[in-house]
Homo-oligomer: A and B are copies of this chain.
C-alpha cells in the first residue's frame, strides 16, 4: 500500500479531467504498443489503464462486457466459432466461456502484455479465461487476421479501444467488409460504437459503414458507469438473424447485469438517438 495521495489523472479529453485516488499500482509496463498499468483504486476497484486512459474497472466492467458478449451469442441460434478482436482485459472471452455450445473462441489482441497482466491481476474481470481450452489467445493484428479468414466464424465481437491510434482501422469500412467475409453466411458481428452523446459522429459513421455490407444493422445501448457520458452504444450487424427473434432461454443466468428484460430494453433507444440516427 502506497501513499494515499497517489492519483491517476485522466486528461485525454480537452475539457474534462478525472482524478482517481490510487490504492496501489499493481502493474506498470511499457509494451511495444502502449503504457500498460493495472491499478487498485478506492472507488472502482482494480482497473486497466492504457496510456493513462481508464479502460475498464472491476466495479462495473461487467456491464460493458456482458452487453457486448451475451447479446450476439443469444441472437445467433447455433453459434460454434466466435472471434474477438481486441478485448485485452479478457472480460469478453470470460463471458463467452459461460456458453457451453461455443467450441472455439479466437481472441485476437495485438498487445500480449495487456493480456498477461489482466489474466494475472485483473481476475475480477478476466475470471478464469486462461484455463478455458476453447479460448485461443492470438497476439496479432486483428485487421490482418480477418483478411485471412473466409466463411469461418458464426460471431465476431469487436471490442476495440477508441478510434484513435492503433484501433482506427477497426472502424473502417474495409475492415467491416473483410469481417463480413470472415463470417459464415448466417453470421453476425457486434462492435462498440462509442458514446451516443459525445461521439455521435462515430456512431453514425459506424452504422453507415456497416450498412454497406450487412442487411441488418441495429444499435443498442447500455450504461457505462465509470465514464462521464453515462451511456454507451453497441452496433450489431447481422447477415441473417434478427435480435427480436432471439431465444432468451439460452441467455446465461451467470450474469450480474443482463437478463431477458435488459436484453430487450437495450434495443429501445431514447428520442435523441432515434433522431440523431435518422430512425424516426
A166 within 8 A of B: no
A268 within 8 A of B: yes
A262 within 8 A of B: yes
Q: Contacts A14-B42, A16-B21 given; indicate if A268 touches B265 (C-beta within 8 A).
A: yes
CA distance A43 to B15 in the complex (A): 6
A41 within 8 A of B: yes
CB-CB under 8 A from A41, the residues of chain B are 15
A74 within 8 A of B: no
Q: Which residues of A in the span 203-229 have a Cβ within 8 Å of any Cβ on B?
A: 223-229
Copies in the complex: 2
Interface size class of A (residues with CB under 8 A): 35 or more
CA distance A41 to B225 in the complex (A): 22
Q: How far is the CB of A41 from chain B (nearest CB, A)?
A: 7
Q: Contacts A16-B21, A17-B7 given; indicate if A228 touches B231 (C-beta within 8 A).
A: no
CA distance A89 to B71 in the complex (A): 38
Interface, chain A (partner B; CB < 8 A): 7, 13-21, 41-43, 59-60, 63, 197-198, 223-231, 255-259, 261-262, 264-265, 268-272, 274
Evaluate contact between B230 and A257: CB separation under 8 angstroms: no
Q: Contacts A15-B41, A19-B19, A43-B16 given; indicate if A197 touches B7 (C-beta within 8 A).
A: no
CA distance A229 to B16 in the complex (A): 16
Q: Contacts A13-B43, A262-B270 given; indicate if A225 touches B225 (C-beta within 8 A).
A: no
CA distance A87 to B49 in the complex (A): 38
User: Closest residue to A21 on the B side, CB-wise?
Assistant: B15
7 tightest Cβ-Cβ pairs between the two chains A and B = A265-B265, A225-B230, A261-B268, A15-B42, A17-B19, A15-B21, A223-B230
CB-CB under 8 A from A256, the residues of chain B are 270-272
CA distance A256 to B270 in the complex (A): 7
Q: How far is the CB of A196 from chain B (nearest CB, A)?
A: 10
Q: How far is the CB of A240 from chain B (nearest CB, A)?
A: 25
CB-CB under 8 A from A269, the residues of chain B are 261-262
CB-CB under 8 A from A229, the residues of chain B are 225-226
Q: How far is the CB of A221 from chain B (nearest CB, A)?
A: 8
User: Closest residue to A198 on the B side, CB-wise?
Assistant: B43
